[in-house]
A and B are shown apart, each in its own frame.
Chain A
Amino acid sequence: MLDKKLDEYNNLIRKRVDECYAIATEAKSLGRDISTEVEIPLANDMAERVEELIHMKGIASEIRELSKTMSREEVSLKISKKVAEMLRENKDEALEKAVRVGLAILTEGILVAPLEGIKEVKIVKNDDGTDYADIVYSGPIRSAGGTAQALSVLITDIVRRELNVGAFKATDEEVERYIEEIQAYNRRKHLQYLPSDDEIRLVVKNSPVMIDGEGSEEEEISGHRDMKRIKTNNIRGGMCLVLCEGLIQKSKKVLKYTNIMNLKEWDILDKIGNHKKEEKGDKGEKYLRDIIAGRPVFGYPNRPGGFRLRYGRSRLSGLAAASINPITMYILDDFIAIGSQIKVELPGKAAAITPCDTIDGPTVLLKNGDHVKIKNMEEARSLRENIDVITDLGEILIAYGDFLENNRNLSRSPFTVEWWSYYLPDKLKGYEKTVPDQFTAVDLSRKYKIPLHPKYDYYWHDITIDELKKLIDSIKVADFSGGLILTHDIRDILIKLGIEFKNTDNGLFLSEFYPLIISTGFELVNDKIVQLRNIDNETNVMDAVNKLSGIEIKPRAPVRVGARLGRPEKAGDRKMKPKVHALFPILNYGDSRRSILVAAKNRVEFSMELNARQCRNCGNETPLTLCEKCGSITYDENTEKKLSVNVGTVLEKAESHVGFYDLKELKGVKKLMSKSNTVEPLEKGILRSKYDISLNKDGTCRYDMSDIPITHFKKSELKLSSETLKNLGYPDQEINEIYPQDIIIPEDAAKYLLHVSNFIDDLLVKYYNMQPYYMCSKIEDLIGHLVIGLAPHTSGGIVGRIIGFSKVSGCYAHPFFHAAKRRNCDGDEDSIMLLLDGLLNFSKKFLPSTTGGLMDAPLVLTVILDPEEVDKEALNVDTLYKYPLEFYLETEKNSPASSIEKMMKTMKVKMAEENSYTGAGFSFDTSDLSDGTLTSAYKTIGSMEEKIEKQLGLAKKLISVDENDVAARVISSHFLPDMFGNLRSFFTQEFRCTKCNSKFRRIPLSGKCLKCGSDNLILTIHHGSIVKYLKETEKIMSEFKLPEYLQAQIRRLIDSINDTFDIHGDEIVDDAPTLESFK
């Protein structure tokens, strides 16, 4: 389905793409490139992408036809059968192609899994002479996801039946091997679902195809080794994934299809996958388990003081992104920036953070004893240094759609203004926008019998009944003069309630007091506080305040969302390590910098196996596209030969071709990684160096960014002129719904792309003798230009259009754009490249020949986004301007999110009902998409020591965090394993030659490098890396209360290190505590 309302927009995009494609086609046809054609085919839909990926001409129309009436899965099975039928002459090929096509359809022709996730499918003979199908998986199958993984096994089964290939019969020993192997894999890399032995046994015994894998892990199996039909002793990661997270974990879904296909052998799946629930118990705490040094924790599970849940979607959230107030980012010492990933307790595992200044910010206790809700950024700046305790982090805005996507029950909603407003009589709806004062608020409740306004609704559920009694006793004797003056001893109760106060010598002064005294059974009569009701025998504080006040008081913050910093935001150009300008090999002749200039200066001439081309003018054989002897165009011989390269000559010629002689540096590579060893024209490298841009392994220039969503942008925040806006096809108004393929990139990305555009123009003019295309001199000139968005683990790009710039480190784009790349916004990152850069400079012939080499390469390009073909997750984004009252009532019942999907008008519902996904709404505004911390402190703080100091400092400051537990976790999950690990590997380490970089498993007896004879052999693990965190660990041990066992472990490590090394530098303190002093 394409949204008809977007026709005009789509035409704009298509026109630009055609323009670029035409230029690239013309340039390539000149023969000055390694290929005479553009190597990124355009695809309009999934069917075409599959056709291009698998190279099955003509299959697209059949897929399209079947898709009209069938689900993806059914189409996949059907087409697989068809392909098998077509190719049945060659059974092996038929089997392999059919399975790959099927998986490609299941993964929308975007993922690399069909190419890289299946190493081979082969037909093997059983001992009894019958044959069976063996499908060999490798690591990248992971990207396909459990269901597609499982279905790929079914496809294999169906296809082998079609081809009359027999069934696999596992021997008992083989079954045991699978069990041992899966357990071993689970120890190294955690499996989402670890099946029981019986489950594994059942599936392997009954599977009619052999689920096999490449020995992808370094670790070997210790028990069932050297088996005839399992060729490797290494752990087969791909097999473990497909069996556990695929077939077994998704058994219910698979069963659906086996029933349709009438595959009786698979009925066994009915009996498995049932003890899945086990792990769920402590799901909420999972985010704490893998705590990382230097990345602070913001809240323990549902602990007061942490982020308060608020339902809604800002124009910058949804698709796993959540919003918080920019003031909170600042108060948290800038650890959370826009685009940072935080790991959360709910609704999913992680979320990217975007700003929203229309939700609550933090409340803090100052060093002078005042308890303050920080109202704006200015106040925050003046107070940050004076904060003693952060008593409340403010709200975190989470969209309904994220609860739906994670298949969760709705947590109870806090009582918020949106909810409250539903109770307001029509004539008073103005209070939805303006906050009533404390007296009016109480009056409203009394007069109209509506719940107390959320601003005056305190966290009553966080105090005990005894604390309430203490509070009442204190109010009973309190002074009153313009405000309430309470004694100091109830400070902590007021803090728990979230009530602001000033610390004075006479006591705690509350200017907002009326709702408090009402809630606790008092009234103000003639400036005197009079008690109306006292606590009876209530045991529940919520019940008590409802009764004492005589008005309805709803829970203000029933749910807090525990969180910690995950991955910090990312934005930066992609550099190979070390940086490269051209895919031009120079072996070791460029010294450690791999400088082509150095090699040229030394007049280096070497020969190596390279893709050969022939000059038809002078007969010269060369790896270059332009003959270095006569300057003519050369022709690809599609074969490798030992060719000699004179670096000096090649460089001189290339410089003269592009007319640039002022190179400061030109970095090549040591060796090519591709199968064909194809050399890139050096001219391109020269021009890249001229504009100081870095190169990716596939010949393109990439900029990597965190993914963050935006559904509506403001003309003002992007500083767009009316003219620009109109040229882009938008109405000239302040707020616009963003088109699905439009992106807002960081200014830094724009600067990089500006250089790339200059490079492309130079290339067009000087290398191809064509007209320049971009002609950009400032970043604003890039607006309207197209890019290719491409994510790792995929091999299909999508066209995007630059419409503006932000100051944040992330790429703002429509949720559908991210979903088209198979990404969400929970901390994922991916890349963009200029469209013409991809079309001109990408080549498959550069791609590494290793497994995974095809990943993150634009093997095919989608021009127009089709909402039917984006990751289904994006269809769960909700589109309402205001969540209905029923929603809040459902949260009180903890209903499953899925039960109200229709009411919440998700994209899916909207598309079904309106046949369009445009015209969506959002429920919370944000002043400016760049408002908030721009760079996480995690990235700006230099040393790990300082990061940890800040992490622990924050832990102490936050009442939502147990600092001793954080300290213990940092040490036991990070420092100790790191130090122990390095200590262990010190004794089994490799040695390295600093001159030629050769590595040796053991130091040669001569002490000299066996390759180059140099005696500069060095350790690869030093004493320093073992004691790296020792000082820090000891410091933390003295400052925090660590569990005794952990203390003993630390002391044991210190003893062990002291006992091992005869080095007493600064790192080891002589009077360090030892195990001896422990008892």
Chain B
Amino acid sequence: MELFNDKTRILEYFQKHGILVTKEAMDIILERSMGDLIPSMISDEVIQSGYLTENDVLKLISTPKREKMDFEVYIPDIKSHSSVEDFRKMFVDRYERIRKMIIQSSEMRGTYKISTAKKTYGKVKIVGMVSEVSTTKNGHKKLLLEDLDDNINVFLLKNKGLNNELIIEDEVIGVIGSVSNSGRETVLFADEIIRPDIPYKMIDEQKKPPVYVASISDIHVGSKTFRENDFKKMIAWIKKSMDEAESLKYLILSGDVVDGIGVYPGQENDLDVLNPLEQYEKLAEYIDEVPEDVNVFIMPGNHDVVRLAEPQPIFSKKISSFFKSNTVMLPNPYNLRLEGKNVLVYHGMSLNDMIELVPGASYASVGSALEELLKRRHLAPRYGGKTPIIPSERDYHVIDEVPDIFITGHIHSYSQGNYRGVRYINASTWQSQTEYQKMMNFSPNPAIMTLFDLNSNTTIVKDFKSED
């Protein structure tokens, strides 16, 4: 598209179409750098009157065009063959893809394979997957690091201050250090740990009218503790299309959209709707109220009626058929591209593990855990915890593309933040405190919707919580 950034060219353009522009209208156009919106200003109305007025321009700003879009969601068909190879291939894939990210860093130029590094002296650079982490008697940290054909013990010494570095098993890291052959076995003393991490990104603040992505999660329809009133209030707000809702174009539900069945023992006592399909029908009734021109994305979580192991596939045809055509089913996790931006959505089962692993992270404050995921470019770094992952040739939890927005849910608290320009959020829930949470002494922070503006670096938080 042609770019309109100076007054002369804008005027020429309108003149070509036989339209005069008022000074006020021109000021607004220039002020808000609305150049690329100009073609859309030539409506039938304007052509008839022959004038472009201030009002015509403002109208365009306040009602950005919402349109229903067709989203092609790529759904990998992954199944396990119940073999050791399935598992191995997945970790090899993880290793290779994250390794590529690590060696892009200039300081990691010239890495060795571990087997080669072992035969050299002095400074080396290697990339490996962590197999074991332990602390020595003297307080140094010891890692067993593996690559595709060898492994080596790496020491993070206390006096270098590296012993406090958070190392998570099965993450892939680069190590710069010196090889020592003096002991019984060859070991590496680390000077520096290099992570794939998120590159610093300049946020290009475009002066564009806002386009909102709304994030909600963990609705738990069908549970006795589902906050139906709050949820209805929220839907009604969207439906009214006032305020920010006018510019709402995308609504994302990141998992546990219903309470499901058989998720934990005795769940039947906590359910309002015992039939899982009826739970989805009920959800569909609410979502039906959302205007057609808002695109709705629904992802499954651990409560939903799809297989538990990640990546979780999209809902079955039967369940999908309950929803209107503005609804798109997503697998979990999924990197959604909206208006040229990466929106990474993950329900967040691995957060249970991360909260235990990351010092300072808790169910009430999960931000630091999310940042650690981004640093490692992986959604579920540690294998063997509480996150079931289907072994396959590709590791679907590697964060290939640097996201602009990173959305999670699952733990029913609410937090948001910004890590190197990535806006992240742990979306809130629409379920009140459950008996289990009561026992665990955890108070959820429910009924909050977050609106991201895809065009600016801003978020808006809408609280729909009513007093209980």
Residues in chain A within 8 A of chain B (CB atoms) = 176, 179-180, 183, 187, 220, 222-223, 976-977, 980, 983-984, 986-991, 1001-1007, 1010, 1017-1019, 1022-1023, 1044-1045, 1048-1049, 1052-1053, 1055-1056, 1059-1063, 1075-1076, 1078-1079
User: Which residue from chain B places its CB closest to the CB of A992 in the assembled complex?
Assistant: B84
User: Which residue from chain A places its CB closest to the CB of B383 in the assembled complex?
Assistant: A1002
Residue in contact with A1052 in the complex, picked from B87, B261, B390, CB distance below 8 Å: B261
Residues of A within 8 A of B309 (CB): 987, 1060
Complex A-B: 18 CB contacts under 8 Å: A183-B439, A187-B439, A223-B440, A984-B308, A1002-B131, A1003-B87, A1005-B146, A1006-B146, A1006-B150, A1007-B84, A1023-B82, A1045-B268, A1048-B276, A1055-B307, A1060-B80, A1061-B82, A1075-B318, A1079-B318
Complexed CA–CA distance, A515 and B408 (Å): 77
Complexed CA–CA distance, A1018 and B307 (Å): 24
* B356-A220 in contact (CB<8A): yes
Complexed CA–CA distance, A222 and B441 (Å): 10
* A1063-B82 in contact (CB<8A): yes
* A1005-B92 in contact (CB<8A): yes
Complexed CA–CA distance, A213 and B459 (Å): 48
* A987-B390 in contact (CB<8A): yes
**Given A1007-B88, A1022-B82, A1056-B308, residue A222 in contact with residue B363 (CB < 8 A):** yes
Q: Which 8 A-B pairs have the closest CB atoms?
A: A987-B388, A1062-B79, A1023-B82, A1049-B262, A1059-B307, A1056-B307, A1003-B87, A988-B384
Complexed CA–CA distance, A986 and B307 (Å): 13
Complexed CA–CA distance, A223 and B362 (Å): 8
Chain B nearest CB from A985 CB (Å) reads: 9
Chain A nearest CB from B129 CB (Å) reads: 6
**Given A176-B441, A1045-B274, residue A990 in contact with residue B384 (CB < 8 A):** yes
* B88-A1005 in contact (CB<8A): yes
Residues in chain B within 8 A of chain A (CB atoms) = 79-85, 87-88, 91-92, 95, 129, 131-132, 144, 146-151, 169-170, 260-262, 265, 268, 274-277, 305-309, 313, 316, 318, 355-356, 363, 383-391, 439-442
* B276-A1052 in contact (CB<8A): yes
**Given A220-B356, A1048-B276, residue A1003 in contact with residue B261 (CB < 8 A):** no
Chain B nearest CB from A1058 CB (Å) reads: 9
* B84-A1004 in contact (CB<8A): no
User: Which residue from chain A places its CB closest to the CB of B150 in the assembled complex?
Assistant: A1006
**Given A987-B388, A1044-B275, residue A1062 in contact with residue B81 (CB < 8 A):** yes
In the complex, how many residue pairs between chain A and chain B have their CB atoms under 8 Å apart? 137
**Given A1076-B318, A1079-B275, residue A1017 in contact with residue B84 (CB < 8 A):** yes
Complexed CA–CA distance, A1004 and B82 (Å): 17
Complexed CA–CA distance, A1044 and B146 (Å): 50
- Residue of A183, A988, A989 most packed against chain B (CB within 10 A): A988
User: Which residue from chain A places its CB closest to the CB of B81 in the assembled complex?
Assistant: A1062
Chain B nearest CB from A793 CB (Å) reads: 29
**Given A180-B440, A1048-B261, residue A1003 in contact with residue B88 (CB < 8 A):** yes
* B316-A1076 in contact (CB<8A): yes
Chain B nearest CB from A176 CB (Å) reads: 7
Chain A nearest CB from B86 CB (Å) reads: 9
Complexed CA–CA distance, A1003 and B384 (Å): 11
Residues of A within 8 A of B391 (CB): 987
Complexed CA–CA distance, A989 and B390 (Å): 11
Chain A nearest CB from B302 CB (Å) reads: 10
**Given A1019-B84, A1049-B261, residue A1005 in contact with residue B388 (CB < 8 A):** no
Complexed CA–CA distance, A176 and B151 (Å): 44
* B307-A1002 in contact (CB<8A): no
Can you name 6 extra interface pairs (CB under 8 A) apart from A1005-B91, A1052-B262? Answer: A988-B383, A1005-B95, A1006-B149, A1062-B79, A1062-B80, A1063-B81
Main secondary structure of the interface of B (DSSP, over half): loop
**Given A1010-B151, A1055-B307, residue A991 in contact with residue B80 (CB < 8 A):** no
Complexed CA–CA distance, A204 and B170 (Å): 41
* A1002-B384 in contact (CB<8A): yes
- Residue of A183, A223, A1023, A1045 most packed against chain B (CB within 10 A): A1045
Chain B nearest CB from A851 CB (Å) reads: 23
Chain B nearest CB from A957 CB (Å) reads: 30
* A1001-B169 in contact (CB<8A): yes
Residues of B within 8 A of A1063 (CB): 81-82
Residues of A within 8 A of B260 (CB): 1052
* B84-A1079 in contact (CB<8A): no
**Given A1002-B91, A1004-B131, A1075-B305, residue A1053 in contact with residue B150 (CB < 8 A):** no
Chain B nearest CB from A921 CB (Å) reads: 49
* A991-B440 in contact (CB<8A): no
Residues of A within 8 A of B276 (CB): 1048, 1052, 1075
Complexed CA–CA distance, A1045 and B313 (Å): 24
* B275-A1052 in contact (CB<8A): no
Residues of B within 8 A of A1061 (CB): 79-82
User: Which residue from chain A places its CB closest to the CB of B281 in the assembled complex?
Assistant: A1079
Residues of B within 8 A of A988 (CB): 383-388
- Residue of A984, A991, A1062 most packed against chain B (CB within 10 A): A1062
Residues of A within 8 A of B92 (CB): 1005
Residues of B within 8 A of A977 (CB): 265
**Given A222-B440, A1060-B309, residue A1018 in contact with residue B274 (CB < 8 A):** no
* A1060-B277 in contact (CB<8A): no
Chain B nearest CB from A621 CB (Å) reads: 25
Residues of A within 8 A of B316 (CB): 1075-1076
Residues of B within 8 A of A990 (CB): 384
Chain B nearest CB from A1013 CB (Å) reads: 11
User: Which residue from chain A places its CB closest to the CB of B306 in the assembled complex?
Assistant: A1059
Chain A nearest CB from B280 CB (Å) reads: 10
* A1003-B307 in contact (CB<8A): no
Residues of A within 8 A of B80 (CB): 986, 1023, 1060-1062
Complexed CA–CA distance, A1018 and B88 (Å): 11
Residues of A within 8 A of B439 (CB): 183, 187
Residues of B within 8 A of A1019 (CB): 82-84
* A1006-B82 in contact (CB<8A): no
User: Which residue from chain A places its CB closest to the CB of B388 in the assembled complex?
Assistant: A987
Residues of A within 8 A of B148 (CB): 1005-1006
Residues of B within 8 A of A1023 (CB): 80, 82
Chain A nearest CB from B397 CB (Å) reads: 12
Residues of B within 8 A of A987 (CB): 309, 387-391
User: Which residue from chain A places its CB closest to the CB of B128 in the assembled complex?
Assistant: A1005
- Residue of B80, B81, B144, B170 most packed against chain A (CB within 10 A): B80
* B262-A1060 in contact (CB<8A): no
User: Which residue from chain A places its CB closest to the CB of B95 in the assembled complex?
Assistant: A1005
* A1079-B277 in contact (CB<8A): yes
* A1060-B390 in contact (CB<8A): yes
Residue in contact with B277 in the complex, picked from A1004, A1010, A1049, A1078, CB distance below 8 Å: A1078
User: Which residue from chain A places its CB closest to the CB of B94 in the assembled complex?
Assistant: A1005
Residue in contact with A1048 in the complex, picked from B275, B390, B440, CB distance below 8 Å: B275
Complexed CA–CA distance, A1019 and B82 (Å): 8
Residues of B within 8 A of A976 (CB): 262
Complexed CA–CA distance, A1044 and B150 (Å): 54
Complexed CA–CA distance, A1044 and B262 (Å): 12
Residues of A within 8 A of B440 (CB): 180, 222-223
* A1044-B274 in contact (CB<8A): yes
* B277-A1075 in contact (CB<8A): yes
Complexed CA–CA distance, A1062 and B86 (Å): 12
Complexed CA–CA distance, A1006 and B386 (Å): 25
Chain B nearest CB from A1074 CB (Å) reads: 9
User: Which residue from chain A places its CB closest to the CB of B318 in the assembled complex?
Assistant: A1076
- Residue of B85, B129, B261 most packed against chain A (CB within 10 A): B261
* A984-B146 in contact (CB<8A): no
Chain A nearest CB from B51 CB (Å) reads: 60
Complexed CA–CA distance, A877 and B149 (Å): 70
User: Which residue from chain A places its CB closest to the CB of B316 in the assembled complex?
Assistant: A1076
Chain B nearest CB from A354 CB (Å) reads: 36
User: Which residue from chain A places its CB closest to the CB of B271 in the assembled complex?
Assistant: A1045
